[in-house]
Amino acid sequence: MENLILFIAHALTSWLVSLGLSPWWADLILLILQWTSIVMIITLNVLILIWLERKVAGFMQERLGPNRLGPFGVFQTIADTLKLLTKEDIVPSKTDKWIFKTAPMFFIIVAVLLYAVIPMGKDMAVVDLNVGLFYFISVGSLSTICILMAGWGSNNKWSLLGAMRSVAQMISYEIPLAFSLLGVVMIAGSLNLSDIVAAQHKLWFILLQPIAFVTYFIAATAELNRGPFDMPEAEQELTAGAYTEYTGMRWALFFLAEYTNLVAVSALASTLFLGGWQGPWLPSWIWIIIKTYSVMLIFMWMKWTFPRIRMDHLMSFSWKVLIPISLVNIVLTGAAIEFFHGMGW
């Protein structure tokens, strides 16, 4: 079980080579297969996640949630997807066509790119990048541009307002997000995610870096545009923010990308703070799924508990609270590392 997926990959490569392909071609085909499977997993995962989100929201409000289609309503999202696929694709006449049409594509591409470096199990990162964390943060911040594209291209005041809010929010929260990860990097001594997981062999970093975990969690919520920080969408104020003018599958792509980002951020949280794929008895790739889903459930729990925060409070919270706290955390971590090194540990 542990090496099931790796075994399949190796068998596939050796079979391709035995067919007479050069190893370079075999690797390329394997890479394409890996990306395809990632996209498949993401899409299926989003179907489950949307169902889960609605179920969780229902339970917290003492409702039943979707319960009509299939057992416990699990097929509800499939029906919704089919509906979105068959809807008319409306492009308003006064939009900036190219930007309007490419924004959702870029958004989903950026979201999928995040999965390149996340170790999905033992030795199971698609690309074992030595600056993996840096890559993750930099690619993650690109999604701001996509939302700005959507907002600008829509030629709609609500869309633009939502996009502007998104940019302000993302730039502000990018800083505490990166700072909170610095503590982990300092302890692990590496930006490679596999190395960071390996460094948590004895002790999860959530115990060494609890403040960093909390700041990461808050900043990540803001990065994901999820409640209580869903200012860019804020349906009561901006209808649907940057997504107002989008219909059918274009809108669904945004939705898909948002949930894909949610999975990526949760997977990163479990990789950096919860020991990644490490765990007893079960195969490593099941452990990362369990941990990721636990983190996502906490995200959902928070979304359905807290009311939306006001825009200026949101900004001042980032600049006046989160950034100082994460800076202090870095200083403390550095001091502690020096101290324990001096002690000879």
Nearer Cβ to other proteins, position 73 or 162? Answer: 73
Size of the site for other proteins (CB under 8 A): 13
- Judge residue 101's burial from the number of C-beta atoms within 10 Å of its C-beta, 0-12 exposed, 13-18 middle, 19 or more buried: middle
Residue closer to other proteins by CB (options 59, 339) is 59
C-beta of 318: minimal distance to other proteins in Å? 16
* Whether the bond into 66 is cis, omega within 30 of 0: no
C-alpha span between 203 and 254 (Å, rounded): 37
Does residue 59 interact with other proteins by CB under 8 A?
Answer: yes
Task: Please state the closest distance from residue 48 (CB atom) to other proteins, in A.
Answer: 18
Cβ closest to other proteins, residue 192 vs residue 326: 326
User: Taking CB under 8 A as the rule, does residue 62 contact other proteins?
Assistant: yes
Sign of CA dihedral 273, 278, 284, 287: negative
Q: Least distance in Å: CB of 59 to other proteins?
A: 4
Helix axes 157-188, 210-223, angle to 10 degrees: 160
Could you give the C-alpha distances from 96 to 66, 100, 103, 239, 242, in angstroms and in order?
A: 37, 6, 11, 20, 14
Q: Cis (ω within 30 of 0) for the bond into 280?
A: no
Phi, psi (rounded to 5 degrees) for 28: -65, -45
| Closer Cβ to other proteins, 56 or 161, answer by number | 56
Quick one: which segment of 58-66, 104-112, 130-138, 199-207 binds other proteins (CB under 8 A)?
A: 58-66
* Beta carbon nearer to other proteins, 58 or 279: 58
- The secondary element (H helix, E strand) that includes residue 105 is helix 97-113
> Per CB under 8 A, does 70 bind other proteins?
no
- Return the exposure string of 26-43: e unless at least 16 CB atoms fall within 10 Å of the residue's CB, then b: beeebeeebeeebeeebe
Q: Is 60 in the site for other proteins (CB under 8 A)?
A: yes
CB nearer to other proteins: pick between 36 and 305: 305
Neighbours of 312 (CB within 10 A): 8
**Which 17-56 residues touch other proteins, going by CB under 8 A?**
56
In angstroms, give the least distance from the CB of 113 to other proteins. 33
206 phi/psi in degrees, rounded to 5: -65, -30
**Cβ closest to other proteins, residue 65 vs residue 132:** 65
In the bound state with other proteins, the residue whose beta carbon lies nearer, of 67 and 155, is 67
Question: At its nearest, how many Å lie between other proteins and the CB of residue 190?
Answer: 32
Stretch in the footprint of other proteins (CB under 8 A) among 60-68, 86-94, 165-173, 337-345? 60-68
Strand blocks (E) in the chain: none
Q: Which listed residue (11, 28, 64, 207) binds other proteins by CB under 8 A?
A: 64
Contact between 15 and other proteins per CB under 8 A: no
Please give the residues from 285 up to 314 whose contact with other proteins meets the rule CB under 8 A.
301-302, 304-306
The length of the chain in residues reads 345
H-state helical runs in 19-95: 23-60, 76-86
Q: Closer to other proteins at the Cβ: 22 or 61?
A: 61
Distances (CA, A) of 340 to 83, 213, 334, 335: 59, 21, 10, 9
- Min dist CB 173 to other proteins, Å, is 18
Q: How far is the CB of 105 from other proteins (least distance, A)?
A: 36
Instruction: State the residues that interact with other proteins by CB under 8 A.
Output: 56, 58-64, 301-302, 304-306
